[in-house]
Each structure stands twice: as C-alpha cells, then as structure tokens.
C-alpha cells in the first residue's frame, strides 16, 4: 500500500531529511586518505544524535552501523570497519539516514578520496546527474516507469549500466515502503505518481556490466565484473508543484 503524506507529515519528514543530509555532508567532508570507514561512521552517528535524530540503518534487518560505506567496486551496503582505511584514488559511496519523530530520511552520495581518475570522476558525475534526471520525472500524473526510464537512458547513453537487483523505494514512517522505484523502466508504465508520495530515488551505476554479487559478510554488494560503481540518493516528495528534494540542509 502506498501511503500519501499530509502537509503536516511532510514538515516532520523534512526535519528527518535535513538531519540525514547534514550527516551525509559531515561524513563526506571526512573522506580523506588514511581515515577508516568506522571513523566516518562514528562522525555521522554523532551528528544525527546531536540533532535529535536516530540512525535508522542501525539494527535494520540486523545491519550493524549508522552508514553503509562502499569503496570502488563495492556498490552498496559496505559495513564500516576500523580495518578499512581509505586510500587516495578511492571513490567512496556513503549511504545513511535518520529517523525523527517517527519519520525517515534516506540519502547517499559518492565522494572522491584525494585525487581520482578522470574515469572515476565521469562515473560519479553521470550517476549524480542521472539522479536529477530521475527527480525531474517525479511529477504528479507521471508514472514510476518514467523515473526509471529517465535514469536508465541518461546512464546508458554514456556507456554505463544501472544495477537491477536493488531499487529505490517509498519512504515515510518506514525506511522502506511501497512503491519500488527501479532505476530502469518504460515510460508510461507502473503506478501513477501522486502528490503526497515520498520516495527515495537512488541510482546505482556500474562502469561495466550491471551484474552484482553479495560478499560472504552477507551485506556488501560488489560489481560482478570488478568495475567501479557509484551511488547517489535523495528522498523526494511529489507535490502538486512538482518534485521537492527533501534531503537538503
Ligand atoms: N540505504 C539503503 C537504501 O537506500 C538501505 C540500507 S539497508 C541497511 O535503501 F540495512 F543497510 F541499513
Ligand atoms: Co534508500
């Protein structure tokens, strides 16, 4: 069931999203050579708690941390670790969210660690832009397939591929709720978009083929072909005036 949010609910949810965006900014600014992913996770958690929020990934289906931090060929769900030190040239995808007064925010971005290759920059730029293409398609009267199509077309035109096994999602009083929001699709297909829907749009883009596999830790998702992967995500409200990005400070 798709839950439409009232204006009052969107105001509370905006606060959860503001905290989520602030935590992502704090985490992203900490990305530099020599830092461990656990240190970044701790900074994000401290920020969320300082703002009166709760890290909403922690304990979600047993997930052990505040953030998912996924490096290079890791697509999503990398578990922060004191043993994992960032190195110059890495691209670092950080995904995290906060719950505030019962509502969730969810966002992600890929950050450069020191100097990165031109190819890595182009992958990050393409993934970030594909998110905005998807957001532009999130208008009342449109359909869920319009969003996926916009993302997929932008990505594939540039020679990259979108991950199929993981998708975006509705977000509200649950971190994950209906509908699914794939990063691929056919225009005019899928459920109709309506004011009051709140969705997380989150393209995961591989430099190589779309296939992924899960590491033996049960969480970390890697590209099957070992290629680089990037991930950007915003929580977006669909309103009568068009899409509103909620995860901004
Ligand atoms: N952030 C993921 C998403 O965007 C969910 C993470 S699941 C967790 O949907 F268990 F790792 F928290
Ligand atoms: Co999400």
Fold of 7-243: Creatine Amidinohydrolase (3.90.230)
Give the CA dihedral 28, 34, 38, 40, nearest 10 degrees.
-20
Q: What is the mean pLDDT of residues 66-87?
A: 99
pLDDT of residue 43: 99
Contact criterion met (CB below 8 Å) for 229 and 161:
no
Ligand 1 neighbourhood includes 221 CB (under 6 angstroms): no
pLDDT tens profile 191-218: 999 999 999 999 999 999 999 999 999 9
pLDDT tens profile 214-247: 999 999 999 999 999 999 999 999 999 999 999 9
Ligand 1 neighbourhood includes 63 CB (under 6 angstroms): yes
What distance in angstroms lies between residue 77's CA and the mean position of ligand 1's atoms? 7
* Domain residue extents for the chain: 7-243
Nearest ligand 1 atom to the CA of 61 is: 10
pLDDT of residue 114: 98
* Neighbouring residues of the ion ligand 2, judged by CB less than 5 Å: 106, 200, 202
What percent of the chain clears pLDDT 70, i.e. is strictly above it? 100
What distance in angstroms lies between residue 111's CA and the mean position of ligand 1's atoms? 18
pLDDT of residue 101: 98
What is the best residue among 95, 99, 217 to mutate for testing ligand 1's pocket, by most ligand atoms within 8 Å of CB? 95
What is the best residue among 60, 65, 217 to mutate for testing ligand 1's pocket, by most ligand atoms within 8 Å of CB? 60
pLDDT of residue 97: 99
Nearest ligand 1 atom to the CA of 200 is: 4
Give 189-230 as a DSSP string.
-SSBP-TT-EEEE--EEESS-S-EEE-TTSS-EEETT---EE
In whole angstroms, give the CA distance from residue 9 to residue 211: 38
Ligand 1 neighbourhood includes 15 CB (under 6 angstroms): no
**pTM: predicted TM-score of the whole model, two decimal places:** 0.98
* Nearest ligand, CA 201: 2
pLDDT tens profile 137-196: 999 999 999 999 999 999 999 999 999 999 999 999 999 999 999 999 999 999 999 999
What distance in angstroms lies between residue 105's CA and the mean position of ligand 1's atoms? 11
pLDDT tens profile 110-147: 999 999 999 999 999 999 999 999 999 999 999 999 99
Measuring from atom 5 of ligand 1, which residue has the nearest CA? 57
């Amino acid at each position: 069931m798709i839950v439409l949010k009232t204006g009052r609910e969107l105001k509370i949810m905006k606060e959860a999203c503001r905290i989520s965006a602030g935590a992502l900014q704090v985490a992203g600014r900490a990305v530099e050579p020599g830092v461990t992913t656990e240190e970044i996770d701790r900074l994000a958690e401290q920020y969320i708690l300082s703002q009166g929020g709760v890290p909403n990934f922690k304990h979600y289906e047993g997930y052990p941390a505040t953030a998912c931090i996924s490096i290079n060929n890791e697509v999503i769900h990398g578990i922060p670790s004191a043993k994992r030190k960032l190195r110059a040239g890495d691209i670092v995808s950080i995904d995290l969210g906060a719950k505030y007064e019962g509502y969730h925010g969810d966002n992600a971005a890929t950050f450069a660690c020191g100097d990165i290759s031109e190819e890595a920059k182009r992958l990050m730029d393409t993934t970030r832009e594909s998110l905005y293409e998807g957001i532009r398609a999130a208008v009342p009267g449109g359909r869920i397939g319009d969003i996926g199509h916009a993302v997929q077309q932008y990505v594939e035109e540039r020679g990259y591929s979108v991950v199929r096994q993981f998708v975006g999602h509705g977000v509200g009083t649950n971190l994950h709720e209906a509908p699914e929001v794939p990063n691929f699709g056919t225009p005019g297909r899928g459920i109709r978009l309506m004011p009051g829907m709140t969705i997380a749009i989150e393209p995961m883009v591989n430099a190589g083929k779309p296939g992924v596999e899960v590491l033996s830790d049960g969480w970390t998702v890697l590209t099957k072909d070992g290629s680089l992967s990037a991930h950007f995500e915003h929580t977006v409200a669909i309103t009568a005036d068009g899409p509103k990005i909620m995860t901004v400070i």
